[in-house]
Amino acid sequence: MNPVSKLEQLAAWQQEAKQGEARKRLDALFDDGSFVELDAFGGAGVVTGYGMVNQALVYAYAQEPAAEGGALTAVNARKVRRLYELAAKTGAPLVAVLDSKGAAIGEGAEMLTAYSDLLLGANNLSGVVPQIAWVAGTCAGAFAMLAAGCDVVVMEKEGEFFLNPPFNTAQTEDKQEAGTADFAAKAGLVSLVAEDQARAAELVKQLLGYLPQNNLSLPPVYEGKPVADAAAAQKVMEDCPGGDLKPLINALADGNTALELYGAYGENSAVALALMGGMPVGLAAACGELHTSDCNKLARFMQLCDAYSLPVITLLDTPGFTVTSCPGLVKAASRLANTYAEATTVKMTLLAGQAIGAAYLALASRNAGADLVYAWPTAVISALPVQTAVEFTLHNRLRQVDDPAAVRAQLAEEYKDTVASPMEAAKAGLLDGILAPADTRNTLIHGLEALADKRMNRLSKKHSNTVL
């Protein structure tokens, strides 16, 4: 045996392994020179290993689309399963870079067992360490289920994401669009869509920078930064925008740190991870009539933040849940209320506009577990929509005039300034303060600092039995 020749042979193998698409994607994700490959010779269809992302330990695997005919073998599945075990032992995040045509069906029962182990490993890690799915190519079958169960899904624009091949599906909303990134984003399956590989890697890095290593670790803390444009942010808050609170999210966040999730899903809501005073937070806005998609989006986001103890600031300007006979909205609203009430992370509320009825109760009230509740002077806080409340409470006054329609608007304004005003809510003990827009950001940051050591225990139980 010639040691020199063996070392040369090893170097050749290692160099060849670095040429694949999977390794290139992992190199784009990890800090320079930090990636360590595991089981390098245990199956060519997937690359597994660990390294540093933002100077913190992360485990990752990437499927190699050019190997094994693009299929995942049982040997490759075992490599991935071991990575889940290591992530559980060390409490470090896991990133799955997915690009495979599916299982090697010729392996039969062995492949079924391997896939079952993977799904079990991913489910066991759920809520324990952050899991991010990066859909870089085709994500199909069991891996589509695995990806959908991750905390966040980042998908490249040219990727494919489906449980069953769309062209074999008898009924799809649009066979041409089914399985595409846009389709998955509109369905709420994908959190972020990236234009290319470089942008996808950048988004995954940014997400990891907001999340703690695991559910027992504290979120990272950075040096606080001012908002990107102080004058513009001031104007946004002074204008007290109605209907669209996305500008307010950016006005509250440290400069250029707000990362919106599920932007194509739930048109009357917005959720984003951001920094405020250098602290990672979740910003959730309800800005219009809430539909089923909005309820699902807000509940999913709260669940993510609560799992990793990220504070959530809810911004409210909604007339309530949309009027519909669809039972799906009732179920979605119930899930939303349950998720907010169950969450033990720091919860703060800003009533930036309308806070009406059941939506206010589910999202913003102290009964929903809010630790601090603030309102702007222009907020409207009411058990009923204003016009409905006027009809009920001021009906006698409307009967006394010749033209009721002419005075309804006047009575509505009167109701807002009296019964539904923030001052009345504060007198009733519903608010911790009424804020001038200029004071909002600093007050919320001070609240985050004051609540940083919040501790809360729930009644002992296996889990809630919420409606599905």
pLDDT, tens digit, for every residue of 13-35?
A: 666 666 689 999 999 999 999 99
Does 17-210 carry CATH code 1.10.10.10?
no
Q: What distance, in Å, lies between the first and last C-alpha atoms of the chain?
A: 64
Please tell me the distance from the alpha carbon of residue 328 to that of residue 251, in angstroms, as a whole number: 34
Percent of the chain's residues with pLDDT above 90: 62
Q: What is the pLDDT of residues 351-364, one digit of tens each?
A: 999 999 999 999 98
Q: What are the φ and ψ backbone dihedral angles of 338, each rounded to 5 degrees?
A: -65, -45
> Given this model, what pLDDT does residue 169 score?
52
∠347-350-352 over CA atoms, to 5°? Answer: 155
Return the SS3 of 324.
Answer: coil
323 compared with 254, residue with greater pLDDT? 254
Q: Quote the CA–CA distance of 330 and 173 in Å, as a whole number.
A: 24
**Least confident span in 3-17, 235-249, 328-342:** 3-17
The answer to whether residue 170 scores a pLDDT higher than 60 is no
Average pLDDT over residues 214-240: 80
109-154 per-position pLDDT tens digit: 777 888 888 999 999 999 999 999 999 999 988 899 999 999 999 9
The dihedral over CA atoms of 276, 277, 279, 282, expressed in degrees to the nearest 10, equals: -10
3-state class of 357 per DSSP?
helix
At residue 389, the pLDDT reads: 80
For residue 106, what are the contacts with CB-CB under 8 A and spacing of at least 6?
A: none
Please give the residue that has the higher pLDDT: either 457 or 276.
Answer: 276
Q: Where are the domains of the chain?
A: 17-210, 230-376+435-450
What's residue 226's pLDDT?
80
Do the two domains 17-210 and 230-376+435-450 of this chain adopt the same fold? yes
Buried b (16+ CB within 10 A) or exposed e, 420-434: bbbeebbeeebbbeb
Q: What is the pLDDT of residue 398?
A: 62
Beta pairing class for 160-162 and 192-194? unpaired
Count helices and strands (H / E) in the chain. 17, 19
Digit-coded pLDDT (tens) for 394-429? 666 666 666 666 677 788 888 888 899 999 999 999
The C-alpha atoms of residue 123 and residue 261 are separated, in whole angstroms, by 22
Task: List b or e across 83-116, with b for residues whose CB sees 16 or more CB atoms inside 10 angstroms.
Answer: bbeebbeeebbbbbbbbbbbbbeebeeebeebbe
Comparing 40-54, 265-279, 437-451, which segment has the lowest mean pLDDT?
40-54
CATH superfamily, region 230-376+435-450: 2-enoyl-CoA Hydratase; Chain A, domain 1 (3.90.226.10)
Three-state SS for 258?
coil
pLDDT of amino acid 11: 67
Whether pLDDT at 1 is above 90: no
